[in-house]
């Protein structure tokens, strides 16, 4: 038996050290080192087989055939489906619907005749069946394995040779040869590395569910995100029915796409027209309400920005942002104060995006500014008007990308007027009045008089 030795590993970046350090020399984070037990002489043996070196011009560039799950929003975020041999990591808050999503995708693929192995490390096979009954899908090709031991899992993969393997979750899986608790830095890193070797060596696709910390980051070493091919975050609030699936890393597609789902009694349902859903409960002729068109990947989304301005009773006014970047809101308030003559220094300002979504598109700047001005002057914006544009510090309205696609989406949903940056040009859809503006002051004069 090899003697065990103690080492310390950074939870943020995976840096290993023979002694505990207060600050990681690689990533610079403080108090991130945890104690691990590793056998002396551990590590993977180096292969003595010579590697095959080829010219880059001889590498095949044929497109990989993707496995389409049939869940359109999920396939959109992945880039068109699951690539064979890929390792996909899905993270999200507890109860957001990660297990429901991957079980639905596994059942869809199993229903197409593809063998799928669903490994549940946190629930029994009976609990997984109960969830499948609630989703209304139990194809015979969906195989269940309630196991935490990685050796048993790899043996099942070797025996069954599935086309897709789902690991729920990676923090519950452990390798018996590593004397550390499941979910520790060493266990998560080594288990993911072993699964990666199987996925690439045998061309088996894998979906791995991961926990997140209270800061919203994936639990475990940072190297976990570097090992996998795709990192997806499932965002949502337990008090809202809508969930957003977003890619932060994708070696086989774009990282700008999002998928929108609705959580209901039968599980997750795709939201095929999210713009209409988010605007369904918009109040009529209410000051402080503005419609903007944000671009998420190739999808334009019409969202409602709401603002509330009230006199403050304290020496320092309060600024609160929900779904809007706080620093961006403060910047826009300064522009309105200096360039548009709105005296907001003694007023509390609250701004939010309805539906629980988060908007980081600069094209929403003008809509936020108009919503604040509308609430301050107590004058509503015309109901069928959409506002698009980025705001600069000089008060100018700057052009945004794919403006024609945004205006077409607004026209499709019945909007008859669009305020856009003056620098935008081209042909516009019929039935929509285009108002070109150059400054924030000009925009407020056109909308609020």
Report the interhelical angle of 365-377 vs 326-339 (nearest 10°): 60
CA pair distance 352, 364, nearest whole angstrom: 12
Reported pTM: 0.76
Exposed e or buried b per residue across 416-435, where buried means at least 16 C-beta atoms within 10 angstroms of its C-beta: ebbbbbbebeeebeeebeeb
Residue 264 backbone dihedrals phi, psi, to 5 degrees: -135, -175
Whole-number average pLDDT of the chain: 88
Please check whether residue 153 is in contact with residue 121, taking contact to mean a CB–CB distance below 8 angstroms.
Answer: no
Residue 110 CB contacts under 8 Å (≥ 6 apart), including other chains:
116, 139, 140, 141, 142
pLDDT, one tens digit per residue, over 266-278 is 788 898 888 888 8
- DSSP character string of 176-240: TTS-S-TTSHHHHHHHHHHHHHHHHHHT-EEEEEE-B-TTSSBSS-THHHHHSSEEEEEEE-TTS
pLDDT, one tens digit per residue, over 286-311 is 999 999 999 887 789 999 999 999 99
Cis ω before 201 (30° cut-off from 0): no
pLDDT band at 220, cuts 50/70/90?
Answer: low
pLDDT, one tens digit per residue, over 117-173 is 999 998 999 999 998 988 888 898 999 999 999 999 999 999 999 999 999 989 999
Percent residues over pLDDT 70 in the chain: 93
Q: Is a pLDDT exceeding 80 seen at residue 3?
A: no
Residue 118: the pLDDT is: 96
pLDDT, one tens digit per residue, over 26-73 is 888 888 887 776 644 444 444 456 778 989 888 877 766 899 999 999
Q: Pick the more confident residue, 44 or 114.
A: 114
Residue 214: the pLDDT is: 67
């Amino acid at each position: 038996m090899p003697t065990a030795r103690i080492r310390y590993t950074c939870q943020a970046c995976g840096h290993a050290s023979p002694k505990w350090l207060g600050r990681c020399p690689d990533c610079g984070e403080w108090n991130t080192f945890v104690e691990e037990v590793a056998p002396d002489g551990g590590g993977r043996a180096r292969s003595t087989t010579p590697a095959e070196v080829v010219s880059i011009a001889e590498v095949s560039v044929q497109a990989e055939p993707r496995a389409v799950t049939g869940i359109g929003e999920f396939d959109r975020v992945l880039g068109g489906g699951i690539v064979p041999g890929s390792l996909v990591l899905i993270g999200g808050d507890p109860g957001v619907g990660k297990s429901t999503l991957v079980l639905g995708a596994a059942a869809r693929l199993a229903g197409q005749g593809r063998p799928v192995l669903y490994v549940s490390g946190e629930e029994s096979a009976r609990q997984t069946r109960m969830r499948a009954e609630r989703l209304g899908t139990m194809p015979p090709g969906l195989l269940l394995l309630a196991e935490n031991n990685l050796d048993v899992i790899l043996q099942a993969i070797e025996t069954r040779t599935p086309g897709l393997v789902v690991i729920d979750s990676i923090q519950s899986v452990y390798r018996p040869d590593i004397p550390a608790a499941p979910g520790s830095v060493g266990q998560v890193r080594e288990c993911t590395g072993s699964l990666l070797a199987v996925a690439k060596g045998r061309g088996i696709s894998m979906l791995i569910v991961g926990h997140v910390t209270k800061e919203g980051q994936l639990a475990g070493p940072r190297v976990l995100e570097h090992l996998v091919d795709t990192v997806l975050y499932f965002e949502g609030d337990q008090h809202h029915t809508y969930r957003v699936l977003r890619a932060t890393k994708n070696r086989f597609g774009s990282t700008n796409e999002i998928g929108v789902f609705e959580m209901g009694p039968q599980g997750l349902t795709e939201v095929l027209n999210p713009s209409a859903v988010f605007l369904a409960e918009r109040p009529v002729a209410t000051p402080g309400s503005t419609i903007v068109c944000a671009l998420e990947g190739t999808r334009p989304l019409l969202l409602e920005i709401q603002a509330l301005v009230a006199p403050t009773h304290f020496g320092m006014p309060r600024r609160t942002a929900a779904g809007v970047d706080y620093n961006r809101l403060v910047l826009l308030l300064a522009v309105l104060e200096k360039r548009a003559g709105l005296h907001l220094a003694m007023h509390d300002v609250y701004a939010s995006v309805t539906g629980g979504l988060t908007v980081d598109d600069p094209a929403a700047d003008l809509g936020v500014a108009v919503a604040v001005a509308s609430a301050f002057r107590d004058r509503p914006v015309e109901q069928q008007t959409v506002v698009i544009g980025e705001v600069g510090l000089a008060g100018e309205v700057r052009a945004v990308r794919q403006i024609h696609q945004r205006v077409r989406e607004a026209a499709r949903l019945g909007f008859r007027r669009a305020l856009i940056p003056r620098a935008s040009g081209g042909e516009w859809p019929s039935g929509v009045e285009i108002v070109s503006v150059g400054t924030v002051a000009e925009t407020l004069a056109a909308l609020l008089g």
